[in-house]
Amino acid sequence: MHLIQKCSVLLILLAFAFGLLLLPQQSRSGGSHLSSASEPQSATNADIPAFHNEAATGALPATMSPDNFSDPLAQNAYALAAHVKKVLYQQPCYCHCDRSQGHESLLDCFVSKHGAGCGVCVREDLYSYQQTRKGKSPAQIRAGIIQGEWQSVDVSKYQTPPAANK
């Protein structure tokens, strides 16, 4: 009789463990995190860096002045970033500065000096500017960034000082 009780308890424990395995991950974790539009969003894919899914509701911080940099490419990148701040606010940055520096979007790279020393940030900034001029929405630009289209940006045409580009 004692053996039957032990087997019964073992079967119940195994059934319980098996039932837990069948529960969806979301149910076990207590549901998904819901955040407001002003908080940085990350897409469902963990490899996509943080970004804001919607336009900012308040004033955005100023980008750093291009005059702070001696490199013409950095000067151009910061000058153009100032023109598309609202777009950059809604873009992820694939140098993953969201993890290393706490950035919430591509705009943060150009509010700080970070963008000047990062080829990923510069290419994504130039891509965002080019696509904005073509009439693309921030969501369309974000889709292109996620697909890696920013990698094909030709930075050579931005190597001359901004005054020479006018």
Q: Does residue 58 belong to any structural domain of this protein?
A: no
Specify the pLDDT at position 162: 74
pLDDT band at 10 (very low <50, low <70, confident <90, very high): low
For 152-164, the pLDDT digits (tens) are: 999 999 999 876 5
Q: Does residue 34 belong to any structural domain of this protein?
A: no
Q: Does residue 6 belong to any structural domain of this protein?
A: no
Q: Does residue 95 belong to any structural domain of this protein?
A: yes
Q: Does residue 126 belong to any structural domain of this protein?
A: yes
54: tokens are 């919607």
Residue 18 has pLDDT above 90, yes or no: no
Range of the domain at 79: 66-165
Specify the pLDDT at position 47: 87
Residue 38 or 146, more confident? 146
Q: Does residue 31 belong to any structural domain of this protein?
A: no
Per DSSP, the chain holds a count of helices (H) and strands (E) of: 9, 0
**Residue matched to tokens 């290419």:** 123
* Total domains, the chain: 1
Q: Does residue 98 belong to any structural domain of this protein?
A: yes
Q: Does residue 23 belong to any structural domain of this protein?
A: no
